[in-house]
Amino acid sequence: MAAAKAHSKGLYVGVDKHRWWKEAVVYQVYPASFLDTNGDGWGDVPGITKKLGYLKDLGVDVIWVSPIYKSPQADMGYDIADYEDIDPSYGTLADVDNLIKECKKRDMKLVMDLVVNHTSEEHTWFLDSRSSKDSAHRDWYIWKPAKYDAVGNRQPPNNWAQILGEANSAWTWDEKTQEYYLSLFTPEQPDLNWENPAVREAVHEVLRFWLDRGAAGFRMDVINLISKVQSYPDAEVIVQDHKYQPGDKFYANGPRLHEYLQDINQKVLSKYDTLTVGEMPFVRDENEIMRVVSAESNELNMIFAFDLVDIDNVPGDFKYTLHKWDARDLTRIISRLQRLMLERDGWNSIFVENHDQPRSVSRYTDDSPKYRTYGAKLLALMQTTLAGTLYVYQGEELGMRNVPPSWPISEYKDIESQNFWKKYNDLYAGDEAKLALARQVLQKKSRDNARTPVQWSREAFAGFTSREATPWMRVNDDYESCNAEEQLKNSNPTPGTLSVHAFWKRALAQRKRNKDVFVYGDFELLDQENRTVAAWRRWSATEAFVTVLNFSGEEVVWDGLGDVKVKKWVAGNCDESGIEEKRRSGGIVLRAWEGLLGVCE
Ligand code: GLC
Ligand code: CA
């Protein structure tokens, strides 16, 4: 009873606001790299079905699968040619029906990736659109006449840069009809014209198609880019050396975004029981975020905010840059979003990895053989003790790391990496220092890092595909020491500790057991200005926990608990043979990358 009293003050999400999608653990599958069952070197839908038992055992409730629709794969399926069919490299619609059925059997759900800011240039809508200026679908995309400079050279309608190829214009010239079309990501991904009501209705149909088939919701790809400022103004010049500039001010959270999202909600989503998460790059404004995710907004359940994964970008610059950060940056970001959602009744998503980001163990911690497992578990402890819907990316539960620095550029398959490398070679040909920097940036930041095949075992190609096959992407060299089979045996290289997988499994179970605290409880940062230790308290009306994370490779003595009294340390990433608080004058001793979870008195 004493405990009940001590924690009785706080902001908790009331029981009437409990939702399955708030408590869910979502696991993202990047299908090409998950598991190949037919020996063609590509992961496939039957491969996902085959691993449902593994995922259920880990503690996963929902699977979000990156695009498996028919696609020429210019951007790995984020360029869709048919929303209502499956790409043969992944399987068939019948395979997906079976996957949904098998999910249901295990009380799991499937969430689809909805990519509707743009289509593939091979979608029939676009083929018709580009066929002539007066085709039925001309107005389904964004066409503009050329501009001409002082000496009469043809120029795109404005100076916006392509997102996946920042040296290039976001506009693509069409020879046949002599106009430019907007293609924010790559020329193969023309942007849909959402101003046209027929486009909006067609998108609604796509949602219904998948919900009626049994999908439980959508991850909505760059959904905040669907409304553009209709005058298409030039962007301010902020990156010197570049002809084209970031134009996000004019296309991220544009004038009609909320109208479009409410329309989707009212006409489609409100008729089903769904999980919806909108990918929303470039947004920082709290009111803008709340308009989408607050409980009364009737737009989406939650968004992916980029603050945490942008922590090592030079502010204001393109993302392939390197920037130093410390624990204060991390806790500032975490605390802001945690408090925002509690105070204004919204909902967070918690993630540090996906198919567009490098591996978290390499990015935020130390992926050397000595520290990799500690780093991976530190991040598991961090994420499982924060409020929001939790997203785990394939291989994150194994502590998979970035590709080795020794890999040649030819192993980087992503269009964004290729464009970045080409840009450096064009801009700085022969400048060895600049090219070395570009290589370093790719190894640290490229999306390829997350896209290497999942390491299932010590077999050939880590068990991702058959021995005779050629995997579409090279398997990380470290698969013999980092793979699921080993970790399931829980024979970890470091005696006395759990494997990364076993640690995740236990942390997910603990989160569920104490969901009043970890999912719905209040949040308070401890020792805000510490440069190496991130720490917070979470509590419900009856219980409280404290998380302490040493984000450094040094031993530190920490005394940031303040008034908080720890009754018992219940989990830690270092010493599992009875976690005891090690004290020295001045505070608790935390080893390099050590993380602790304690129950408060
Ligand atoms: C999102 C996807 C990314 C893709 C882009 C364009 O950011 O996650 O992989 O390249 O949208 O669809
Ligand atoms: Ca296959």
**CATH no. for residue 155?**
3.90.400.10
**Torsion angles phi and psi, residue 383, rounded to 5:** -70, -35
Residues 310, 280 contacting (CB under 8 angstroms): no
Identify whether 279 is a catalytic site residue.
yes
Residues 130, 174 contacting (CB under 8 angstroms): yes
Residue 157 makes CB contacts below 8 A (sequence gap 6+) with 144, 145, 146, 147, 171, 180, 232
| Parent domain of 130 | 124-182
Residues 156, 169 contacting (CB under 8 angstroms): yes
**Residue 324 belongs to some domain of the structure:** no
277 lines ligand 1 (CB under 6 A): no
Total domains, the chain:
1
pLDDT at res. 493: 54
Identify whether 221 is a catalytic site residue.
yes
Could you give the 3-state DSSP secondary structure of residue 189? coil
Choice among 36, 61, 87, 279 that is catalytic: 279
pLDDT at res. 491: 57
C-alpha–C-alpha distance, residues 339 and 326, integer Å? 20
| Alpha carbon of 305 to ligand 1 centroid (Å) | 14
Q: Cite the DSSP H helix spans in 345-414.
A: 360-364, 372-384
Q: Which of 168, 114, 179 lies closest to 141 in space, CA to CA?
A: 179
| Order of strands across the sheet that contains 302-304 | 302-304, 275-279, 217-220, 109-114, 62-65, 25-29, 389-393, 349-350
How does strand 302-304 pair with strand 556-558? unpaired
Q: Cite the DSSP H helix spans in 452-556.
A: 484-489, 500-513, 515-518
Q: Which of 252, 257, 269 lies closest to 305 in space, CA to CA?
A: 252
pLDDT in tens, 381-420: 999 999 999 999 999 999 999 999 999 999 999 999 999 9
pLDDT at res. 577: 66
**Residue 298 belongs to some domain of the structure:** no
pLDDT at res. 494: 61
Does residue 370 surpass a pLDDT of 80?
yes
**CA-proximal residue: ligand 1, atom 2 (nearest):** 221
- Ligand 1 atom with the smallest distance to the CA of 447 is 9
304 lines ligand 1 (CB under 6 A): no
221 lines ligand 1 (CB under 6 A): yes
Q: Name the β-bridge partners of 526.
A: 535
C-alpha–C-alpha distance, residues 293 and 301, integer Å? 6
Confidence of residue 4 (pLDDT cuts 50, 70, 90): very low
Does residue 212 surpass a pLDDT of 70?
yes
- Ligand 1 atom with the smallest distance to the CA of 115 is 12
Could you give the 3-state DSSP secondary structure of residue 599? strand
pLDDT at res. 578: 64
Confidence of residue 575 (pLDDT cuts 50, 70, 90): confident
220 lines ligand 1 (CB under 6 A): no
pLDDT in tens, 167-195: 999 999 999 999 999 999 999 999 999 99
**Residue 149 belongs to some domain of the structure:** yes
Measured from the alpha carbon of residue 87, the closest ligand is 2
**Residue 173 belongs to some domain of the structure:** yes
C-alpha–C-alpha distance, residues 183 and 121, integer Å? 10
pLDDT at res. 2: 45
Q: Lowest mean pLDDT: which of 223-232, 272-281, 483-492, 556-565?
A: 483-492
Confidence of residue 492 (pLDDT cuts 50, 70, 90): low
Pocket test for ligand 1, best of 68, 225, 356, 415 (most atoms within 8 A of CB): 356
C-alpha–C-alpha distance, residues 79 and 190, integer Å? 9
C-alpha–C-alpha distance, residues 380 and 352, integer Å? 10
% of the chain at pLDDT higher than 70? 97
Choice among 113, 221, 248, 522 that is catalytic: 221
Q: Cite the DSSP H helix spans in 59-123.
A: 93-105
Does residue 453 surpass a pLDDT of 60?
yes
Average pLDDT of 23-45?
A: 98
Average pLDDT, the chain: 95
**Torsion angles phi and psi, residue 498, rounded to 5:** -80, 155
351 lines ligand 1 (CB under 6 A): no
Residues 449, 402 contacting (CB under 8 angstroms): yes
pLDDT in tens, 107-165: 999 999 999 999 999 999 999 999 999 999 999 999 999 999 999 999 999 999 999 99
The amino acid occupying position 476 is: N
